[in-house]
Amino acid sequence: MNKTRSTVVGALADAAARIGGDSPRLDAELLLAAVLDRTTTWFRTWPDHVIDMRDMDAFERLVAQRVAGRPVAHLLEHQGFWRFSLQVSEHTLIPRPDTECLVEAALELPLPAAARVLDLGTGTGAIALALASERPDWAIIATDAVEDAVLLARGNAKRLALPVTVRKSDWFRDLTPSRFDLIVSNPPYIAEHDRHLGEGDVRFEPASALVSGVDGLDAIREIAAQAPDWLAGGGWLMVEHGYEQGEPVRHLFNKAGFHAVETRQDYGRNDRFTLGRRPAEEKANGRDGC
C-alpha cells in the first residue's frame, strides 16, 4: 500500500485484515479515529479522505502493536464505560461492558437516599464512578490493594468531578471499621491454570486483577465471608464472577448467612454476578445502630 495515498476506506480494510480477532474493523476504526482526532462515524461520510504520511505512519505503529496483541484500551490509554471515558493502564483490569449490568442492578436496589457504598478492588474506579454519576448523594468509598490503581482511580474521579473517596486497602484489611448499605466488587475470579490467561487482551492485564487461586474463588470466598461484618442490617453484597461460577458463589453467599441470594446474567445471557442481602435483624459485631 502507498501510504502517501492511503484513503480511509483502504487503510481501515487493510488494518482490519491484519488485526483479526473478534472485532478487527472496530479496533481499526478506534485507532484511526484517535490518530485523526475524528469520530468513527466521520469515516462513513468521508471514506475517500486521503490520509497524509505522518498520520499514516502513526496509524501503522498502532496497528502493529494491536496485531502483536496489545489491547486497544492500552494503546489509546482510555476505555468507555457507562456514560464516560476512563483512563486505563497496565496496572488495572480494562473495564468491560458486562460490568455495567452490575451497576444497573445496584441502582435498582432499595437503598437509603444517602446510602453508604464500598467498592472493593476498584481498579480504574469504573463501578464506583458509575454509581456516583447516578447517585450523587451516596457516600462512596473505593479501594484497591495496588498503589498504581489507587492513583489511577483517584485521577479518574478528579477528572470526572465525581465524589468518590479512593483508599489503598487489601479488601477489608486496611479499612477503619464501618458499616455500609452496599458492598460491590469485581474481584479477580480466574483459576490460576485457566487456558484463557494466555489468550487475547488478558495476556496484557495484571495477574493480580485476574487470578484468584486454584478455583478462581479465593477473593470471592474472602469477601463473602467478611462482608456481613461490614454491612448494615439489610445491606447488600454484589460480586461479579465467571460465567460458570454462579452455583459455587451462591453457596458461598448462603454459607455466609446472606438471604435473597440470586445470580443474574450479563448482556450475553451468561451468569455474571451474584447478590445477597444481610438479614436486617442480625448485628454485625455489635456495630449496628452506631
> Is residue 110 over pLDDT 50?
yes
Would you call 158 exposed, middle or buried from its count of C-beta atoms within 10 A (0-12, 13-18, 19+)? exposed
Domain boundaries, position 45 = 3-68
Say if 283 falls within a structural domain.
no
| pLDDT per residue as tens digits for the range 139-186 | 999 999 999 999 999 999 999 999 999 999 999 999 999 999 999 999
Report DSSP letters for 159-203, one per residue: HHT--EEEEE-STTTTSPS--EEEEEE----B-TT-GGGGSGGGG
Residues in CB range of 30: below 8 A, 6 or more apart = 40, 72, 76
Higher-pLDDT residue of 207, 104? 104
Q: Does residue 39 belong to any structural domain of this protein?
A: yes
The region of weakest confidence among 96-100, 110-114, 213-217 is: 213-217
**Which of 27, 47, 68 corresponds to the end of one domain?**
68
Task: Read off the CATH number of the domain in which 19 is found.
Answer: 1.10.8.10
pLDDT-based confidence at residue 106 (cuts at 50, 70, 90): very high
pLDDT at residue 224 is higher than 60: yes
Where does a domain end: 68, 98, 115? 68
pLDDT at 4: 45
Are both 57 and 156 inside the same structural domain?
Answer: no
Q: How many domains does the chain have?
A: 2
Distances (CA, A) of 108 to 103, 112, 281: 9, 12, 22
Do 153 and 254 lie in a common domain?
Answer: yes
- Residue 22 CB coordination number (10 Å): 7
User: Does residue 286 sit within a domain?
Assistant: no
Query: 488495572: which residue's cell?
Result: 92
- On whether both 170 and 195 belong to a single domain, the answer is yes
Same domain, 186 and 64: no
Reply yes or no on whether the pLDDT at 213 is more than 90: no
CATH code of the domain in which 259 resides: 3.40.50.150
Do both 173 and 118 map to the same domain?
yes
Give residue 204's pLDDT band: very low, low, confident or very high (50, 70, 90): low
In the chain, the largest separation of any two C-alpha atoms, in whole Å, equals 73
Sign of the CA dihedral with 201 first, then 202, 203, and 209 last:
positive
Domain assignment present for residue 288? The answer is no
Domain stop point among 42, 68, 94 = 68
Q: Kindly state the cell numbers that stand for 158.
A: 478528579
Same domain, yes or no, for 99 and 216? Answer: yes
Q: Give me the phi and psi of 195, to 5 degrees please.
A: -65, -25
Looking at the domain assignment, is residue 166 inside a domain?
Answer: yes
- Any bridge partners for residue 141, and if so which? 118, 165
